[in-house]
């Protein structure tokens, strides 16, 4: 560990990132440019999130890293190991015990609390990019709060699909001001963005942007009066823990079309089973875990 500065980045870089974070917290939903550093992992693997985490970590922190809700996927494991090695911090898989949670594409099911920081990995921070490729123009639109184009995107969705088919990275308006891309979380998670007790930080490494939702920020998903936002999920209960309210992944189990639905949040599923709950297939083996 002593071969590295604490949490890999040098102190000047961390200060630079913290200044960007402070600005982002002061202007919720606004994309703050920052001088993203080369990290020892490729873009698309969470370099933005990793830099935020590095800038926030203290030796007392307990870090949790998830990818699509799971602690045990390659991406999550390698980022967790990275900080164990470069910062020597404690790690955990339990949402409740973590002080910093770095995530890709999910918000944990367990309500977050004051004092926790949720760090998102963001591929494309600009929600207007899809319809307006010019950065000069999108910046002006944000500055003037000209967001008609965002609804054009939703209009196109309904015209094509009969409903708002956007299921991930569903655009939101922050505190009545900035329109923000919540990163590719399922829209099921959108309501959890709002009035969250934890500090939420978003980092895009390749695009060099940081934005933030301070605790208890109001976040509203965009929609139409006659096509209101719905936080959809698969209409099933988890086959392992039986929870009907958590977000599910569909898993194909054999070549004959067999499938099961399981919680995408692995910690939530394990915790639920540990308290005696069981799903269609989960029962005893889960309760023992």
Partner 1 sequence: MTGAHPLLSVRDLTKSYGTRRGCADVAFDLWPGEVMGIVGESGSGKSTLLGCLAGHIPPDTGRVVFDTRAEGPRDVLAMAEPERRMLARTDWAFVHQNPRDGLRMGVSAGGNVGERLMAVGARHYGQIRAQAVDWLGRVEIAADRIDDKPRQFSGGMQQRLQIARNLVTGPRLVFMDEPTGGLDVSVQARLLDLLRGLVRQMGLSAVIVTHDLAVVRLLADRLMVMKDGLVVEQGLTDQVLDDPQHPYTQLLVSSVLQA
Cβ(110)–Cβ(271) under 8 Å? yes
Q: Determine the Cα–Cα distance for residues 193 and 140; give it in Å rounded to an integer.
A: 25
Cβ(83)–Cβ(63) under 8 Å? yes
Between 227 and 233, name the residue whose CB sits nearer to partner 1: 227
State the nearest-atom distance from the C-beta of 175 to partner 1, in Å: 18
29 catalytic residue (yes or no): yes
State the nearest-atom distance from the C-beta of 162 to partner 1, in Å: 11
Between 58 and 161, name the residue whose CB sits nearer to partner 1: 161
Which position among 49, 241, 242, 286 bears the catalytic label?
A: 241
State the nearest-atom distance from the C-beta of 143 to partner 1, in Å: 9
Cβ(136)–Cβ(144) under 8 Å? no
Interface with partner 1 (CB under 8 A), residue from 78, 146, 191, 233:
146
Which residues from 77-96 bind partner 1, rule CB under 8 A? none
Q: Determine the Cα–Cα distance for residues 143 and 137; give it in Å rounded to an integer.
A: 10
Which H helix or E strand runs over 177?
Answer: none
* Share in percent of the chain as helix, strand, coil (round to 5): 30, 20, 50
225 touches partner 1 by CB under 8 A: yes
Distance of CA 107 to the CA centre of its chain: 5
> For partner 1, which stretch binds (CB under 8 A), given 14-22, 151-159, 207-215, 275-283?
151-159
Tokens in use for 139?
Answer: 């910046």
Tokens in use for 177?
Answer: 């001001």
124 touches partner 1 by CB under 8 A: no
220 touches partner 1 by CB under 8 A: no
Q: Which residues are catalytic?
A: 29, 238, 241, 263, 269
Tell me which residues touch partner 1 (CB under 8 A): 131, 144, 146, 148-149, 151-152, 155-156, 158-160, 224-227
């Amino acid at each position: 560990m002593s071969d590295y500065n604490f949490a890999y980045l040098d102190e000047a870089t961390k200060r630079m990132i913290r200044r960007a974070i402070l600005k982002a917290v002061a202007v919720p939903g606004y994309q703050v440019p920052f001088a993203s550093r080369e990290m020892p992992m490729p873009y698309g693997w969470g370099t933005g999130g990793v830099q935020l985490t590095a800038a926030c970590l203290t030796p007392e922190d307990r870090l949790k890293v998830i990818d699509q809700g799971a602690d045990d996927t390659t991406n999550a494991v390698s980022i967790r190991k990275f900080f164990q090695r470069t910062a020597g911090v404690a790690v955990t898989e339990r949402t409740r015990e973590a002080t910093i949670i770095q995530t890709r594409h999910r918000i944990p099911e367990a309500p977050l609390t004051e004092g926790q920081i949720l760090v998102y990995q963001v591929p494309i921070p600009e929600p207007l990019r899809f319809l307006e490729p010019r950065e000069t123009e999108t910046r002006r639109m944000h500055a003037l709060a000209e967001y008609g184009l965002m609804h054009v995107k939703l209009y196109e969705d309904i015209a094509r699909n009969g409903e708002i088919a956007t299921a991930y990275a569903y655009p939101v308006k922050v505190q009545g001001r900035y329109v923000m891309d919540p990163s590719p979380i399922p829209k099921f998670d959108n309501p959890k963005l709002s009035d969250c007790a934890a500090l939420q930080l978003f980092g895009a490494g390749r695009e060099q942007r940081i934005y933030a939702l301070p605790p208890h920020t109001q976040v509203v998903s965009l929609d139409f009066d006659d096509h209101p936002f719905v936080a959809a999920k698969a209409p099933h209960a988890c086959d392992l823990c039986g929870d009907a309210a958590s977000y599910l992944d569909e898993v194909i189990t054999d070549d004959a079309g067999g499938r099961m639905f399981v919680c995408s949040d692995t910690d939530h599923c394990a915790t639920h089973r540990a308290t005696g709950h069981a799903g269609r297939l989960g029962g005893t083996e889960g309760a023992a875990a």
